């Protein structure tokens, strides 16, 4: 069944049997793109964990389509992960960030923190020619991507995509309430699996918080200054093994391992 994100005013108080107006973009998608007619049903979700089976009540197919719907029944949403996972990704070049956002949403990430590292190839905040405007535009596009990914994979919640930040802000957040795992290719870093077990004989996630941040570096790797800063804040260096993975691959491999060890996949 078709799934759409509802942007209806007062969506937090929507109840079964209540009628509501669809926003113009959602009405356009249902009426013009998917060709739904009055009486046909779809699933609407609020991006915060609730979803309803809905039906179109009336349609006005003018230049700018408008539609009204009714919430037929609230549906039990999928049980979200007990693991609160944040992916902090140094912005990679090209469209790799979009790939991380889309697949990270499918894997169950709750938050994304794009940031600029010292060796980042892609620059947004530090771009003197309209950097602030470009950062805003990118953040808006990235939020639309995670909305679409949430619709596609059946999530009733939409992950938060934070504004582009600097390295210190991200590390400070990641270490403030949970564990911040900094992926590092240094040979002396323990593996991610070893870090999660927390010692011989213990079980994964048998101790400590279930709030994790994965800190993923840029194509050029971390600087010693960034490693020192992260260590000062309490971030934990971890390795994904002997192979050097691309930055976008590392993010998703690490997220998959965390979800597996938490019993979520």
Q: Where are the alpha helices (DSSP H) in the chain?
A: 24-28, 96-107, 131-153, 167-177, 192-197, 224-233, 247-261
pLDDT (0 to 100) of residue 196:
84
What span, in angstroms and rounded, lies between the C-alpha atoms of 85 and 214?
8
pLDDT of 261 over the 90 cut = no
Each residue's pLDDT tens digit, 226-247: 999 999 999 999 999 888 889 9
pLDDT at 106: 93
The whole-angstrom separation of Cα 113 and Cα 149 is: 17
Tokens read off for 73: 């029944």
Span 161-181, average pLDDT: 92
Given a cut of 80, whether residue 63 has pLDDT beyond it is no
Predicted TM-score (pTM) of this structure = 0.83
Reduced 3-state DSSP string for 109-171? CCEEEEEECCCCCCCCCCCCCCHHHHHHHHHHHHHHHHHHHHHHHCCCECCEECCCEEHHHHH
∠ CA(230), CA(215), CA(50), 5° rounding? 130
In contact, 167 and 226? CB cutoff 8 Å: yes
pLDDT at 100 over 90: yes
Q: Is residue 175 very low, low, confident or very high in pLDDT (cuts 50, 70, 90)? A: very high
Dihedral, CA of residue 222, residue 223, residue 225 and residue 228, to nearest 10: 40
Listed in sequence order, the residues at least 6 apart from 166 whose beta carbon sits closer than 8 Å to its beta carbon are 115, 116, 125
6 or 62, higher pLDDT: 6
Residue among 117, 49, 43 nearest 80 (CA): 49
Mean pLDDT of 206-230: 86
So what's the pLDDT on residue 216? 95
Q: What is the CA radius of gyration of the chain?
A: 21
Q: Which of 144-148, 168-172, 202-206 has the lowest mean pLDDT?
A: 202-206
pLDDT at 201: 41
- Choice among 22-31, 74-83, 157-166 with the minimum mean pLDDT: 74-83
What the block records as the tokens of 181 is 């795992």
For 213, half-sphere exposure in the C-beta direction (CA atoms, 13 angstrom radius) is 26
Separation between Cα atoms, residue 224 and residue 230, nearest integer Å: 10
Report the pLDDT averaged over residues 165-187: 91
Cα–Cα dist 113/13, whole Å:
30
pLDDT at residue 204 is higher than 70: no
* pLDDT on residue 79: 59
The pLDDT value given to residue 199: 47
Q: What's phi and psi for 37, nearest 5 deg?
A: -120, 170
Residue 34 predicted with pLDDT over 70: yes
Could you tell me which of 36, 84, 94 has the C-alpha nearest to residue 210?
84
Domains of the chain (ranges; CATH) run 3-75 (2.40.240.20), 84-261 (3.40.1280.10)
């Amino acid at each position: 069944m078709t799934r759409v994100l509802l942007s209806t005013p007062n969506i937090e108080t929507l109840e079964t049997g209540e009628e509501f107006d669809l926003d113009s973009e959602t009405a356009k998608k249902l009426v013009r793109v998917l060709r739904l007619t009055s009486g046909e049903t779809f699933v609407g979700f609020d991006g915060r964990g609730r979803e309803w089976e809905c039906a179109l009540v009336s349609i006005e197919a003018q230049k700018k389509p408008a539609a009204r719907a009714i919430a037929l029944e609230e549906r039990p949403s999928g049980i979200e992960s007990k693991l609160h996972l944040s992916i902090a990704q140094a912005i990679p070049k090209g469209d790799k960030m979009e790939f991380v956002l889309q697949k990270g949403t499918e894997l169950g990430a709750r938050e994304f923190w794009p940031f600029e590292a010292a060796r980042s190839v892609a620059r947004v905040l530090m771009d003197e020619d309209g950097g602030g405007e470009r950062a805003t535009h990118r953040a808006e596009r990235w939020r639309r991507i995670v909305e679409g990914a949430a619709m596609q994979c059946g999530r009733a919640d939409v992950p938060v995509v934070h504004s582009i930040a600097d390295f210190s802000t991200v590390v400070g957040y990641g270490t403030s309430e949970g564990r911040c795992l900094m992926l590092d290719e240094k040979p002396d870093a323990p593996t991610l699996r070893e870090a999660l077990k927390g010692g011989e004989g213990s079980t994964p996630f048998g101790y400590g918080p279930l709030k994790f941040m994965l800190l993923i570096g840029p194509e050029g790797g971390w600087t010693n200054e960034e490693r020192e800063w992260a260590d000062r804040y309490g971030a934990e260096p971890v390795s994904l093994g002997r192979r050097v993975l691309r930055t976008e691959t590392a993010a998703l491999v690490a997220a998959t391992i965390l979800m597996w060890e938490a019993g979520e996949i």
